[in-house]
Amino acid sequence: MTTNRSSLSWLSLVGLSVTITLASCTSMVNVPAPDTTPIHTSDSASSDHPVSNADGFTQCPPFDSKNNICTMQYEPVCVKVTTASGGVNYRTAGNACSACGTSAAIEYSPGPCP
């Protein structure tokens, strides 16, 4: 009799587990799929892309603090920035994105500043 009772308990436990599992599947929230549209495409306006000058510098795109997110890779560049007095100064930045991460940045070239 003990064998029947333990197998009945085991079956009840399995049945309860299956019932709970199936009941939780019906109450799942319908989550919309994420937007997978590329942020930058080849159809973007040319003003959105950096333009290289004859002197080897690349013009920084217009600064937008809300949309400026940079990665942390180290590929040093020399960035040309305007100073408070209206002059020009050069400084080394970690990468092109961080170089243009300020409204004072004008253009940059690959490699650290001399």
- Give me the residue spans of the domains in the chain: 50-110
pLDDT band at 7 (very low <50, low <70, confident <90, very high): low
Beta bridge partners of 90: 80
Give the H or E element holding residue 107. strand 105-110
Look over the chain and give the mean of its residue pLDDT values, rounded to a whole number.
77
Compute CA distances 75 → 69, 80, 86, 95, 109, whole Å. Answer: 16, 16, 28, 5, 11
Kindly report whether the global pTM for this prediction surpasses the value 0.85. Answer: no
* 56 dihedral zone (left: phi>0; alpha: psi -120 to 50; beta): left
Question: Residue type at 72?
Answer: M
Token code pair at residue 71: 């990665």
pLDDT band at 9 (very low <50, low <70, confident <90, very high): confident
The predicted-structure confidence for 56-73, as pLDDT tens digits, reads as follows 889 988 888 787 788 889
